[in-house]
């Protein structure tokens, strides 16, 4: 049976799940990482300050999205990341937002924004994207429903991870 104390799937959980399922489990249980970790601070700063003039944050259901201006002046869904290193995870997170909005009858485009690299990438939800999102949603549900977190596995994301001390001390 689904534990109703667990948060519903959201974009943040999709992002963490694709980086490291253990992180998704910890976040879902409100075991939040060190808020003063450099990566967490930088991510928060960029999210609060980057593209401030062109951004409007809105809450749709249980997801918070940034509306920004697209390259042709149209309104699109923006997702700001501090680096493009986890581009695939960022794509999936944004595809998830587009998927949820489609459920509300809103057919929008998205744009990934990497302000420190002055890069942007337009994202469109297609059939493959829907399939990937639905697979990720099922994966998140399965992981967070487990009574214990997945064991830590050394991956390239461990070094900058705010949970590194917790996992590897
Ligand atoms: S330190 Fe590594 S194993 Fe632990 S949560 Fe972070 S990425 Fe996952």
123 domain-assigned? yes
68 domain-assigned? yes
- pLDDT range class, residue 1, cuts 50, 70, 90: very low
Per-range mean pLDDT, top range of 27-31, 46-50, 74-78, 108-112: 108-112
Determine the average pLDDT of the residues in 142-146: 94
What integer best gives the mean pLDDT of the chain? 86
Q: What are the two backbone dihedrals, phi and then psi, of residue 54, each rounded to the nearest 5 degrees?
A: -100, 10
Q: Is 106 in the pocket of ligand 1 (CB under 6 A)?
A: no
115 domain-assigned? yes
* CATH at residue 110: 3.90.320.10
Whole-number percent of the chain with pLDDT over 90: 45
- pLDDT range class, residue 69, cuts 50, 70, 90: confident
Strand pairing of 110-114 and 119-123? antiparallel
- pLDDT range class, residue 155, cuts 50, 70, 90: very high
**pTM of the complete model:** 0.85
* pLDDT tens readout for residues 46-64: 667 666 667 788 888 778 8
**76: domain range?**
11-168
What torsion do the CA atoms of 110, 68, 84, 88 make, to the nearest 10 degrees? -20
CA–CA distance, 34 with 162 (Å, rounded to integer): 6
Q: Which residue among 19, 22, 89 has the greatest number of ligand 1 atoms within 8 angstroms of its CB, and so is best to mutate? A: 22
5 domain-assigned? no
Give the residue whose CA is nearest to atom 3 of ligand 1. Answer: 152
60 domain-assigned? yes
Which is nearest to 68 in space by CA: 82, 50, 81?
50
Determine the average pLDDT of the residues in 137-152: 94
Q: Is 162 in the pocket of ligand 1 (CB under 6 A)?
A: no
Residue 115 has pLDDT above 80, yes or no: yes
Q: Is 158 in the pocket of ligand 1 (CB under 6 A)?
A: yes
114 domain-assigned? yes
Strand pairing of 119-123 and 63-69? unpaired
CB 64 within 8 A of CB 58: yes
Domain count, the chain: 1
Residue 12 has pLDDT above 60, yes or no: yes
């Amino acid at each position: 049976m689904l534990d109703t104390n667990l948060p519903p799937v959201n974009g943040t959980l999709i992002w963490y799940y694709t980086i490291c399922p253990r992180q998704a489990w910890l976040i879902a249980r409100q075991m939040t990482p060190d808020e003063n970790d450099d990566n967490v601070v930088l991510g928060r700063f960029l999210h609060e300050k980057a593209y401030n003039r062109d951004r409007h944050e809105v809450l749709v259901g249980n997801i918070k999205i940034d509306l920004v201006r697209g390259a042709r002046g149209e309104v699109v869904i923006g997702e700001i990341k501090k680096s493009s290193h986890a581009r695939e995870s960022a794509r999936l997170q944004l595809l998830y937002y587009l998927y949820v909005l489609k459920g509300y009858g809103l057919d929008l485009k998205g744009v990934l924004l990497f302000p420190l690299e002055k890069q942007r990438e337009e994202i469109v939800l297609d059939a493959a994207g829907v399939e990937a999102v639905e697979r990720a949603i099922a994966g998140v549900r399965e992981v967070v429903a487990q009574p214990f977190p997945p064991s830590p596995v050394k991956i390239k994301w461990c070094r900058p991870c705010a949970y590194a001390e917790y996992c590897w001390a």
